[in-house]
A and B are shown apart, each in its own frame.
Chain A
Amino acid sequence: MPGNASGKMQRTAVAAVLTALFVLPFVLAQLGRTGEFWIWVITEMVIMALFATSLNLILGFGGMVSFGHAAFFGTGAYTVALLMKKAGFGFVPAMILAPLAGALAAAIIGWFCVRRIGLYFSILTLAFGQLLYMIVFQAYAFTGGDDGIHGIPKPEIFTPLTYYLLCLILFLLCFVSMRTLTNSSFGLTIRAIRENPERARFLGVNDRRYQLLNFIIAGGFAGLAGGLFTELNRFAQTEFLHWSKSAEPLLASLVGGMYSLVGPAIGSTVLIFLKIILQQIHKDLVTVWAIILGVILLAVVLFAPEGLVGLYRKFREKRTQN
């Protein structure tokens, strides 16, 4: 465990990062069009960090590999798109309903998926995630099929800067509540089930119910991320629900480190940044992005299963030993 000195260092680091997150966009706003692009990028980073952190409630803390998390991201996205474009809802009610819709979808899908834990859970999350994708894809009249829904209204108060700040504040609120959640007795129970489901059952814990509840909560946060992402881009498309979208938070969690709360957010940011750098180096590199992601995932699984946070911890341990 970190001692007093390193605890103080950590607090300073957190304060520095937070300050940077709040100050950075104001600096970028002075830079004209490139600045605007970068504000868009960091907004996407914040939203994707929320998406990845929400998955990690299931993956890292629950110890269950879900390959269908995009279903809830997409549900949130389409909720906002449909409500704002077709039903004339305002931004605030739509954004409140997005996580609720995500949670509802997670409750339905999760009810089936937690019936079989382990391998089957992964299989089922993938399958039911794809099912939702197919439903949205085929319901052309309602969802626009593969055209998606474009031209979602944007409230006037949202400049790139203010929208970024809104996303950042929401992210921080979500992060703090997830932190509270994982440290609560609920979170500890989830971790106990991950480590030893049998023992947890002997202690009188209804493991399935806890896992389902955890799944629903994760779905809710993913729904919010989807809603925010839709408003950022002002469109929703079926790709948001596709299985390859589920790969993104999964990879982020692994690269960052799934046994810590902040790991997935770091991983997600690193991956988005990497993608942009590759784009700058050579346009063709982005067309093989999935291959690059696959190779990164292979490397992480084989050599650094605890991700960047794990590497950092190891590095720190070595230094304190010397």
Chain B
Amino acid sequence: MTLDFILFLSINGVAQGMLLFIIASGLSLVFGVLRVINFAHGSLYMIGAFLACSLSALLAGTSLLHFLLLLVLVPPAVALLGFVVEVTLFRRIYRREHLMQLLLTYALVLIFDDLARVVWGGDLRNVARPELLAGSVEVFGLFLPSYNVFILILGPIIGLGLWLLLYRTRSGKLIRAAVSYPQMLSALGVNVSALMTATFMLGCWLAGFGGVLMSGLANIDLGIGMEKIIECFAVVVIGGLGSVGGTMLGAIIIGVGSSFIQVPLSRLATMFPYIVMALVLIIRPWGLFGKPER
């Protein structure tokens, strides 16, 4: 392997990791506030990707503007779906035991995945990359697919945006307060229930955003939701739930690792997240950043 090639693999891996980060941060954010791990997060991401495909077929254009339009329209649509689900279903079970919450989100996986199959069918599909992002760009004398570079830049922007939202705005303060003391916050006159809905919608928005990006990156089919949610779980096992930094690092480890392992053993690439997860569990069962539970 030449140095060039290693650099090439790393940058592509980090781009994959950024996509994963965008999706996993949504899962982690929702868990932080709602204390529910949403198994249907992967399905929402998949619905986002499929919506992007349908909408792009409808718009029938390959300019950057068309693609940006997808990025603007699809994630809110997924967030809207999240709104409906949160208000009608999740809200009823926050006080119930964990087991029931898990099973509820699992029921949603069954429903969403099958609905997607009925609506979109099992074919492979993708969104044509906009002309401006379809070629490659030269970075350090390397030719990289510009779409991957685009994701590479977008990831940190989203990450920074999330961090600013959580740590530099009043809404972020409220969200963090809701994580620690929901009752106290409610007693202070904050509408915690609306805050939870908003956070859930933001999580779904991130899933939808990741879906749109994915639809231009590779072929998508009905399996991508389950595949991605398991990658998200691997991120969560590595980096711990609820921390932006941990999610970022976990996502980059998975992205870069998969990218490197693909060269000698392409079959192992899909298994890489599991292998990392198993290793982390053997060495540090509480995650790389977590603390041992008593």
Contact = CB atoms under 8 A, between A and B. Distances in A.
Interface of A: 63, 65, 67, 112, 115-116, 118-120, 122-124, 126-128, 130-131, 134-135, 138, 243-244, 247, 250, 254, 287-291, 293-295, 297-298, 301-302, 305
A52 to B, nearest CB: 15
B281 A115 contact: yes
B270 interface: yes
A250 to B, nearest CB: 7
Contacts, number: 101
B267 A294 contact: no
A126 B237 CA distance: 13
B281 A112 contact: yes
Nearest to A289: B114
Interface stretch (B68-76, B101-109, B161-169, B209-217): B101-109
Nearest to A297: B107
A155 B216 CA distance: 53
Contacts of B37: 119, 122-123
Nearest to A119: B37
Interface stretch (B51-59, B123-131, B193-201, B226-234): B226-234
A119 B104 contact: no
B274 A127 contact: yes
Nearest to A109: B278
B237 A63 contact: no
Given A291-B114, A294-B108, A305 B274 contact: no
6 contacts: A63-B99, A115-B285, A244-B110, A293-B110, A301-B93, A301-B103
A138 B108 CA distance: 28
Interface residues of B, number: 39
B274 to A, nearest CB: 4
Nearest to A63: B99
Nearest to B227: A130
B274 A247 contact: no
B102 A294 contact: no
B93 A127 contact: no
Contacts of B89: 298, 302
Contacts of B277: 124, 127
A275 to B, nearest CB: 14
Contacts of B237: 116, 120, 123-124
B115 A291 contact: yes
A123 B109 CA distance: 14
**Interface residues of A, dominant DSSP:** helix
Given A119-B102, A305-B100, A243 B114 contact: no
A294 B115 CA distance: 11
Most chain A CB within 10 A, of B96, B106, B115, is at B106
B271 interface: yes
Contacts of B221: none
B192 to A, nearest CB: 21
Contacts of A294: 107-111, 114
B236 interface: yes
Nearest to A118: B98
Interface in B91-146: 92-93, 96, 98-100, 102-104, 106-111, 113-115, 118
A138 B39 CA distance: 25
Given A115-B285, A134-B270, A288-B118, A250 B98 contact: no
B278 A112 contact: yes
Contacts of B104: 297-298, 301-302
A243 B115 CA distance: 17
B102 A65 contact: yes
B102 A130 contact: no
B114 A116 contact: no
Nearest to A201: B294
B111 A291 contact: yes
A247 B107 CA distance: 9
A118 B35 CA distance: 12
Contacts of B107: 293-295, 297-298, 301
A241 to B, nearest CB: 13
The 5 closest A-B pairs by CB, nearest first: A294-B110, A294-B111, A297-B107, A290-B114, A115-B285
A120 B234 CA distance: 10
Most chain A CB within 10 A, of B98, B230, B236, is at B230
Nearest to B231: A127
Nearest to A60: B99
Contact of B285 (A116, A135, A291): A116
A120 B293 CA distance: 13
Contacts of A254: 103
A252 to B, nearest CB: 13
Nearest to A302: B92
B226 A130 contact: yes
Nearest to A138: B267
A291 B99 CA distance: 21
A293 B111 CA distance: 8
